[in-house]
Amino acid sequence: MTHSLTLTRPDDWHLHLRDGAMLTGIAPETARDFGRAIIMPNLVPPVVTAAQALAYKARIMAALPEGSKFQPLMTLYLTEKTDPDDLAAAHASGLVTAAKLYPAGATTNSASGVQNFVKVQPVLERMAAIGMPMCVHGEVTDADVDIFDREAVFIDRVLDPLRRRVPDLKVVMEHITTAEGAAYAKSDPGKLAATITTHHLMINRNHILSGGLRPHYYCLPVAKRETHRLALLKAATSGNPSYFLGTDSAPHTDDAKESACGCAGIFSATNTMSCLAEVFERAGALDKLEGFTSLFGPKFYGLAPNADHITLTKGAEVEFPSYISTGAGPVTVFNPGIDLHWKVTD
């Protein structure tokens, strides 16, 4: 039996760090285990320009614990007005790693997102030319499409046509939640990949809706039925480099979650590595964990893996705080619903 596991230090390829008191409160939770993270730009107002990304990066650095080596990899939020020159310069200088495409209205703080995908064509062509990846929130927003079908419909109606128009664009399908998403993501290795969250490997829609409404399991894209969770688990534990970790850890204060109109987002930064070790072990795939958390993401983004390592140790049940206190208010930590036994010890 394996009791100790040393991995190349993991990265988080999809993370919400927020701003202000929330940023200060939650940044240390990611910086503890992770080397780098792709920082989502959906602030209010969003991070649209290089100047905004530079200022946001400075606020993140200031929120890190002293001596932390954590590196935020910044992104720009694409709008129909994004200036291709500003974006290209931000990428060339190393300030910005990727750009995020949100369909307008698809999720939290996405009001400035794209309504007409043809309008961003020149920016996407520029990104393809300079090798800058596009991260995409893959859901249609049409009111006539059922919320559980929005990812699969997005692939057919938006993503596949867009990729045919800009075939050289590198695309990361963010936080896939369906068998259709997993199948499409592996169809063009090196050009196309997907992030998978911790929580979508552990919960299905019953966790949200059965036996009482559980707002802390509500996120977007919403968790689907069990067959989809099993497809994601198979993908994540397959050793296929088209899939890598993006926690989508997305803190909201408890009063914003436990509300008549609760916010979407699950906060999992604190216990993600414990959760994933448990999930991969139960799937008989502990040997595939390092690829998923630490190797395939850098490979897709054209970066070297982190040079240092973490060690996970298996023992008695591991406890995590049920919430993190921040200056903005308490933030509930993802409850995996199963006992965890692995802990990052070094």
Structure tokens at 256: 């914003």
Residue 248 binding Zn ion, by CB under 5 A: yes
Q: Identify what 264 binds: ligand NCD, Zn ion, none; CB under 5 to 8 Å per kind.
A: ligand NCD
Binding of ligand NCD by 12 (CB under 6 A): no
For residue 22, give both structure tokens.
């929330």
Catalytic residue among 19, 33, 248, 254: 248
**Residue 195 touching ligand NCD (CB under 6 A):** no
- Residue 220 as a binder of ligand NCD (CB under 6 A): the answer is yes
12 binds Zn ion (CB under 5 A): no
Indicate which of ligand NCD, Zn ion, none lies near residue 219 (CB less than 5 to 8 Å, by partner kind). ligand NCD
16 lies in the binding site for ligand NCD (CB under 6 A): yes
Does 108 participate in binding ligand NCD (rule CB under 6 A)?
A: yes
Mark whether 254 is an active-site residue. no
Nearer to ligand NCD, 9 or 137 (CB): 137
CB-CB contact of 120 with 102 (8 Å): no
Q: Is 104 in the site for ligand NCD (CB under 6 A)?
A: no
220 binds, among Zn ion, ligand NCD, none (CB under 5 to 8 A by kind): ligand NCD
136 three-class SS: strand
Per CB under 5 A, the segment of 45-53, 81-89, 244-252, 334-342 that binds Zn ion is 244-252
The DSSP bridge partners found for residue 74 are 39, 96
138 near 173, Cβ under 8 Å? Answer: yes
Min separation Cβ 108 and Zn ion, Å: 8
The amino acid at residue 192 is: L
Number of shown-chain residues binding ligand NCD (CB under 6 A) = 12
- CA-closest candidate to residue 57, choices 73, 46, 43: 73
- For residue 151, state whether it binds Zn ion (rule: CB under 5 A): no
The residues with which 343 forms a beta bridge, in sequence order, are 313
> CB of residue 339 vs ligand NCD: minimum separation in angstroms?
26
Q: Which is nearer to ligand NCD, 257 or 343 (CB)?
A: 257
Strand segments (E) across 67-201: 71-77, 96-101, 134-136, 171-173, 192-196
Q: Per CB under 6 A, does 170 bind ligand NCD?
A: no
Point out which span in 91-99, 106-114, 177-185, 327-335 binds ligand NCD (CB under 6 A).
106-114
> Which residues, in sequence order, are bridge partners of residue 73?
38
Going by their DSSP bridges, the two strands 134-136 and 243-245 should be labelled as: unpaired
When asked if residue 248 is in the footprint of ligand NCD (CB under 6 A), the reply is: yes
Binds ligand NCD (CB under 6 A): choice among 153, 230, 264, 283: 264
Q: What is the DSSP letter of 120?
A: G
Q: Which residues pair with 310 in a beta bridge?
A: 7
**Straight-line distance from the first to the last Cα atom of the chain, in angstroms, rounded to the nearest whole number:** 20
Q: If we measure between CA atoms, which residue out of 275, 258, 246, 277 comes closest to residue 332?
A: 258
Question: What single DSSP character describes residue 114?
Answer: B
Helix (H) or strand (E) holding 338: none
Of 102-110, 142-150, 186-194, 230-238, which segment contacts ligand NCD by CB under 6 A? Answer: 102-110
**Extended beta strands in 174-316, E state:** 192-196, 243-245, 309-314
Binding site for Zn ion (CB under 5 A): 248
Q: Which residues are catalytic?
A: 248
Binding site for ligand NCD (CB under 6 A): 16, 42, 107-109, 137, 219-220, 248, 250, 264-265
